[in-house]
């Protein structure tokens, strides 16, 4: 009898943990930067966005890169590299 109660309680607790892990999160995506259906994250500045746009054009076969920004602006460079990887083959 004691063993059965302990087994039921343990099962109930573990089930609660497993079910709580499957619940939806309350993360807001309203500030995410989405380009061509790809989510590039939230709070992206204008240089990052320009880099993504140029890189996606490049991935589509129209080589586009602002070399001055790429060499001197980390945000543009990261956006261009991320965009090139994400848009390639899309």
Domain ranges of the chain: 46-90
Structure confidence at residue 85 (pLDDT): 94
Structure confidence at residue 9 (pLDDT): 62
Distance (Å, rounded) from C-alpha 30 to C-alpha 60?
27
Spans of the chain below 70 pLDDT: 1, 3, 6-7, 9-29, 90
Structure confidence at residue 23 (pLDDT): 47
Q: Could you tell me the CA-to-CA distances from 23 to 11, 17, 30, 42, 53 in Å, in that order?
A: 19, 10, 20, 22, 35
Structure confidence at residue 2 (pLDDT): 74
CB atoms within 10 A of CB 53: 17
Q: Could you report the per-residue pLDDT of 13-25, keeping only the tens digit for each?
A: 656 555 555 545 5
Do 52 and 6 touch, CB atoms closer than 8 A?
no
Residue 45 Cα to chain centre, angstroms: 16
Structure confidence at residue 31 (pLDDT): 83
């Amino acid at each position: 009898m004691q063993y059965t109660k302990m087994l039921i309680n343990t099962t109930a607790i573990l089930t609660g943990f497993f079910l709580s892990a499957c619940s939806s999160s309350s993360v807001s995506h309203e500030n995410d930067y989405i380009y061509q259906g790809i989510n590039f994250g939230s709070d992206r500045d204008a240089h990052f966005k320009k880099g993504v746009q140029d890189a996606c054009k490049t991935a589509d076969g129209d080589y586009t890169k602002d070399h001055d920004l790429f060499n001197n602006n980390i945000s543009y460079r990261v956006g261009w590299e991320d965009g090139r990887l994400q848009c390639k083959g899309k």
